[in-house]
Amino acid sequence: MLPSGVYFENFAQERRHLRTAPQRAWAVAFVAFLLAVPWLANDYLLGIATVAAIALVAVLGLHITVGMAGLLNLGQSAFVGVGAFAAAGLASHGFGPWATLPAAALAAGAVSIVFGLPAIRIKGFYL
């Protein structure tokens, strides 16, 4: 049998995300589109895009832990919720987005450390 597929000379070629010129062109066009959306879309579409981007970040985190690593992650949605709750609380008190986003990340990180440090000491498969 003859081999089929794409074979590379070294690992760096295999890990390259954008391998061909059309892939690079589409990636540049997509980034340009994403940068132009705030000036082209109305407030309603920007709100939907913001919620979709937040969900995308949470789903990508789940994809890494569950899909790629094969680990069951039951706490990530709770930590995303802690960050969202902290951001909403600060925003309702008049803080801007540049203050609420880092504070929400710190709040979610602090809660995850409180739950994560004892979980590291558990041996075996526990949910």
Asked if residues 127 and 72 have their Cβ atoms less than 8 Å apart, the reply is: yes
Provide the pLDDT for residue 94: 94
Q: How far is CA 45 from CA 38, 42, 79, 99, in A?
A: 9, 6, 27, 24
Provide the pLDDT for residue 76: 86
The angle at the Cα of 113, spanning 71 to 61, to the nearest 5 degrees, equals 40
Any residues with CB less than 8 A from the CB of 82 and at least 6 apart, and which?
Answer: 107, 108, 111
Provide the pLDDT for residue 20: 80
pTM of the model: 0.66
Beta strands in the chain (DSSP E): none
How many secondary structure helices (H) and strands (E) does the chain include?
5, 0
pLDDT tens for residues 70-116? 888 888 889 999 999 999 999 999 999 899 999 999 999 999 999 88
pLDDT tens for residues 30-77? 999 999 998 998 999 999 998 999 899 889 988 888 888 888 888 888
Q: What is the DSSP letter of 42?
A: -
Provide the pLDDT for residue 4: 67
Confidence of residue 5 (pLDDT cuts 50, 70, 90): low
Which one-letter amino acid corresponds to residue 110?
A
**Predicted confidence (pLDDT) at residue 24 exceeds the cutoff of 70:** yes
